[in-house]
Chains A and B, each alone.
Chain A
Amino acid sequence: MNRYSLILAAAAAACVAACSSTPETIEELETARAVVPQVEASPRAGVAATNISEARKALDQANRLAEKGGKVADIQYEATVAARNAQIANEKILSAMARDEIEKGTAERQAVLTEARTREADRNAQSARSAEERAKALEQELKDLQGKKTDRGVVVTLGDVLFDTGKATLKPGAYTTIDRLATVLKQDANRKVLIEGHTDNVGTDEYNQGLSERRAASVQAALFERGVEASQISTVGKGETTPVAGNDNPAGRQQNRRVELVFQEDRSRVASDSD
């Protein structure tokens, strides 16, 4: 009510002074009166101190002019200057707040990344440990199967007594060993085994080569039956080419008639060793 009468008085004064009609409200002044206090109250007013002080100065001037019935154009101008400065201040404040968020976000993002990296490192260490444990368990299992560590890997030998004489058929006595070998292979699908058949030097080379291949294949088939993946097994017949003992006595020849299973941790080396 007070402002209303003030404006009326101002309008009357203006009429007397210049016979011009002053409207009851000046839109620009109302806008300035609304926005200037808003930016002044902002906690981040400091980033736009100059604009805010210009806005206040212009608004005070506009109010003074309105009070004493100044020209509408003058009031409009001062009020507009006040409003524009307040709007610029508002934009500067919003920008500063966004920059604050970015700064805070950068630190937060870094923290999340660091946390994620630590967690991943923990997980990797954990999986490395369990891989190591698996490898150890396997080593133990192969040791139990009389596996011998050689530069080709761990070699498990199935002796001649596990085959029918001169034949490739596995005797039931071999099944326990085959079962355990299958279990070892099924535990880790990445584990590869090379099955090598060997003979003594009795008989022709061709016969011995064929027998060694058939014996290796028969061990392979037994492992397939127990659910080992085909991709894990390769076979080769070596015939009489690789004796482990002398062929000049029965005991030596028996040692030479054998099937070797070569477990290699590095697959590429198994592959290169197979030829």
Chain B
Amino acid sequence: MNSWMTRAAAPLALAGLLAGCSGVSDLTKERVARSETSVQQAQQAIGNSEQGALELQRAKENLDGARKAMKDGDEKLADRHAQLAQLDAELAVSKSQTAASRKAADEMLASIKQLRQEAERTTDQPRTTNDQ
């Protein structure tokens, strides 16, 4: 609550105060809450893997920004940070999914290559005809 006092001079917060001292709308609160869920889900999906870690970190920073803006009563900034947190969480998950698909595809290609080599080795052996 003391931030209300310290931030009162900031024009945006002032605007918020002038609007009715009522903080942010329920819609914004809901958006921030939804982003929180998305970031948590992304955290679970990615775990400790490298792919998407950077984006997840950015999502967390945006979420922090959204929470802070909400506290400051800056609805627009809270909405924006929530939206960016949402997008970064989604990007993080997409990146880790791509990495997993890519790995599976590469393994598949490698196994086909190996199979082909084995098949070629065995065909190299002379084959006799049936009518000998």
Contact = CB atoms under 8 A, between A and B. Distances in A.
B18 to A, nearest CB: 19
Contacts of B105: 98-99, 101-102, 105
Contacts of B87: 81, 84-85, 88
Give chain A's interface residue range (CB within 8 Å of chain B): 20 to 34
Contact of A91 (B98, B104, B128, B130): B98
Grouping DSSP codes into helix (H, G, I), strand (E, B) and loop, the B interface class, with mixed when no group exceeds half, is helix
B115 interface: yes
Given A84-B88, A116-B119, A126-B128, A105 B98 contact: no
A109 B102 contact: no
Nearest to A126: B128
A80 B94 contact: no
Contacts of A126: 127-128, 130
A109 B119 CA distance: 12
A87 interface: yes
A188 interface: no
A95 interface: yes
A94 interface: yes
Interface string B96-132: 0110011011001101100110110011010110100
Contacts of B127: 122-123, 126
B101 A80 contact: no
B84 interface: yes
B26 to A, nearest CB: 22
A109 B111 contact: yes
A92 B102 CA distance: 12
Given A116-B115, A130-B128, 5 more contacts: A81-B83, A87-B94, A105-B108, A105-B112, A116-B118
7 contacts: A91-B91, A91-B95, A95-B98, A105-B105, A112-B115, A113-B115, A126-B130
Interface of B: 80, 83-84, 87-88, 90-91, 94-95, 97-98, 101-102, 104-105, 108-109, 111-112, 115-116, 118-119, 122-123, 125, 127-128, 130
